[in-house]
């Protein structure tokens, strides 16, 4: 995968460092701009995979410009001012690089972008055909298509299955038994009370998973390691 990048910073030296790091990382094409308005015009035009954006650029603030980011472009903020980290979190930035940053720190941030891009690609590609599981719902056998499942929540001796464009279903079955019915390469248990389809995950931390529909689900401490296997899972069938 060739990563198309744009870097916007009013300091030419900062852009030289990012360009050098991109070349060192490999498979990255980067266009640089010292003029933030010109740079954002190009971002909207070419819609790169990734934008490196400085925060303080004269009279312009990168946080404000980031609100104009086109869908599908990931954001990494670069700044000497650590207080902007919270703003980056609210913008759903992939990472926050505090200047001066090392290549190792840069590499870690780009790895996160590739991971997120893989998850997004997985979400956009069909991973199920007519696969389904059968559970008893109100004493009737009910076929539930796997592609319709948003996530599954444990409710004591029941599970509640949240579905896309449908009301949730309740079935008297344990979480363990439910998990055994699901293909392990496509569903992941992230908490003693939650199972989610891999292709529904937009992003995750050690404490929380964000689904593409905006739902946030906690990650159990003993399950956080499971998330590390997501990038190794097949993206299509």
- The residue among 61, 48, 11 whose CA lies nearest residue 33 is 11
Q: Is the domain of 139 the same as that of 192? A: yes
Residue 147's domain spans which residues? 132-232
Give the pair of three-digit tokens for residue 202. 């937009």
What is the chain's percent helix, strand, coil content, to nearest 5?
A: 35, 35, 30
Is 237 domain-assigned? no
- The residue among 189, 187, 90, 201 whose CA lies nearest residue 133 is 187
- The CATH number given to whatever domain includes residue 208 is 2.40.50.1020
- What percentage of the chain carries pLDDT values higher than 70? 86
Domain end, chosen from 94, 124, 154, is at 124
Q: What is the pLDDT of residue 119?
A: 63
Is 225 domain-assigned? yes
Q: Is the domain of 38 the same as that of 110? A: yes
Q: Is the domain of 13 the same as that of 110? A: yes
Least confident of 144-153, 189-198, 199-208: 199-208
Domain count, the chain: 2
Residue 203 pLDDT grade (very low, low, confident, very high; cuts 50, 70, 90): confident
Residue 123: burial class (beta carbons within 10 Å; 0-12, 13-18, 19+): middle
- The CATH number given to whatever domain includes residue 10 is 3.40.50.2300
């Amino acid at each position: 995968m060739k990563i198309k990048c744009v870097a916007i910073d009013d300091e030419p030296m900062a852009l030289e460092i990012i360009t050098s790091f991109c070349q060192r990382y490999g498979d990255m094409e980067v266009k640089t701009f010292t003029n933030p308005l010109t740079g954002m015009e190009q971002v909207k035009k070419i819609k790169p995979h990734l934008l490196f954006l400085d925060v303080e650029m004269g009279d312009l603030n990168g946080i404000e410009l980031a609100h104009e980011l086109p869908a599908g472009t990931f954001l990494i903020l670069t700044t000497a001012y650590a207080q902007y980290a919270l703003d980056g979190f609210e913008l759903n930035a992939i990472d926050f690089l505090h200047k001066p940053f090392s290549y190792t720190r840069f590499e870690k941030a780009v790895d996160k972008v590739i991971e997120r891009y893989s998850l997004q690609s997985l979400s956009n590609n069909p991973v199920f055909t007519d696969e389904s599981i059968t559970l008893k719902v109100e004493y009737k056998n009910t076929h539930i298509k796997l592609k319709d499942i948003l996530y599954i929540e444990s409710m004591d001796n029941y599970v509640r299955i949240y579905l896309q464009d449908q009301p949730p279903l309740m079935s008297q079955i344990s979480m363990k038994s439910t998990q055994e019915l699901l293909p392990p390469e496509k569903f992941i248990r992230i908490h003693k009370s939650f199972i989610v389809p891999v292709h529904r995950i937009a992003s995750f931390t050690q404490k929380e998973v964000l689904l593409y529909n905006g739902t946030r689900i906690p990650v159990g401490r003993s399950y956080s390691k499971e998330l590390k296997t997501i990038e190794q899972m097949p993206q299509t069938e």
